[in-house]
Amino acid sequence: MPSEAAPATVPLPRTRRSAEQLDSGDPLRGMRERFTLPEGVVYLDGNSLGALPAATPARVAELVTREWGQGLIRSWNDAGWYDLPRGLGDRIAPLVGAAPGQVVVCDSTSVNLFKVLTAALRLRPDRPVIVSELGSFPTDLYLTEGVGSYRRRLLGRDGDTLEELIGADTAVVLLSHVDYRTGRLQDMAAVTELAHRHGALVVWDLCHSAGALPVRLDDCGADFAVGCTYKYLNGGPGSPAFLYAATRHQQDAEQPLTGWFGHAEPFAFEPGYRPAAGIGRFLTGTPPLLSFAGLQAALDIWAEVDLDALRAKSLSLSSLFLELTEPLGLESVTPAEPEQRGSQVSLRHPQAYQVMQALIARGVIGDFRAPDVLRFGFTPLYLSHADVWDAAEALREVLGSGSWRDPRFAAPAGAVT
């Protein structure tokens, strides 16, 4: 565990000028202008909530004032509302390496995870085991408890490797592509191949990889996946999630939430359920159109993004931050190896909550994960290398001065930290 304070005299290994020089050759540097960011803020929490695209307010206002206000119910057809879940899904598909017709936008990540996890289990009815990871985001673990009477094996509790846990009795392997605490990146192709070798299906949680790095669901032979749109994709708070089901599974997949919007003919108003063909069978209820508008504006930006350039910049930003903070004596729980890293860096400090509050007071917004993790997300579309330098300098000053000890940065009594 690191000491509580690093010496204030520790020098940074680069200058801010050198960081600015890196920015001058950045092919994505013009993307920052497409976002609205507060003056004087270095935003390193886009892996929890992405920044506001500059075009979002106008797009939401257009839906409210023109499509809803003037078009009224006619806009289901005239403005294309009815087709948005599939249409937006096809716009997200290239970002996750999927061919058209395999992604749909709807509901929340938790709801979609319940759908695909249940559908996958029904495709393997004679297998009683779900394999997941102890360190998964809690929703992923909670939902494995709610899908039926399956035994769970958890990586990190019941074994140290997936090879130990996946066997002939495994129905589904549920994993996060990028660990939300540590930023560790799973080898999607290798894990999927391992599961398939044993006859199991794989469900991938893409919440911390979609929009952060290239994802290749089809190339890796993935079965199902879910992800959110309010983090790296910048769809806005509460924006709808997305769901991927490989074409080969769609005909036989049975999802449990058989609502009217997933019916083969929603407006036939039949008393019995017939699933829609293809990916549409994973729809459930009426889509949240106001939230869809924010996502539309964000995806207009993503249509112009080169994902390989995105990944290169992401690794450059996080590598620079690791280099700049290494002299501070904090343990990094994020892999140093670029190929094993998502788009975040997590550092340990025994008083991480207070340290993060002190950083936020200086305009550097990251976040805290219990019990002792400082988490910094690197969103390449609107972050610069100079931002990273400034954030590292602020962290050095907070630790060196001990300003985090100020009582105003202490957790309020009874607060969940």
Instruction: Work out whether strand 367-369 and strand 373-377 pair parallel, antiparallel, or are unpaired.
Output: antiparallel
**Kind and range of the H or E run holding 43:** strand 42-43
Which of 114, 137, 292, 321 is an active site residue? 137
231 carries an active-site annotation: yes
Which of 26, 90, 179, 205 is an active site residue? 205
Cis peptide bond prior to 371, omega within 30° of 0: yes
Q: Taking the CB of residue 29, how many other CB atoms lie within 10 A of it?
A: 15
Which of 114, 180, 224, 230 is an active site residue? 230
137 carries an active-site annotation: yes
205 carries an active-site annotation: yes
52 is written with which tokens? Answer: 């506001």
382 carries an active-site annotation: no
Which of 59, 115, 153, 375 is an active site residue? 375
Integer CA distances (angstroms), 7 to 10, 318, 349, in order: 6, 23, 15
* 331 touches 379 (CB < 8 A): no
Helices of type H across 108-204: 109-122, 138-146, 162-165, 188-197
- Rounded CA-CA distance 294/297 in Å is 5
313 carries an active-site annotation: no
Tell me the torsion sign for CA atoms 39, 44, 50, 53: positive
Helices of type H across 176-306: 188-197, 217-220, 247-250, 289-302
Q: Catalogue the active-site residues.
A: 137, 205, 230-231, 375
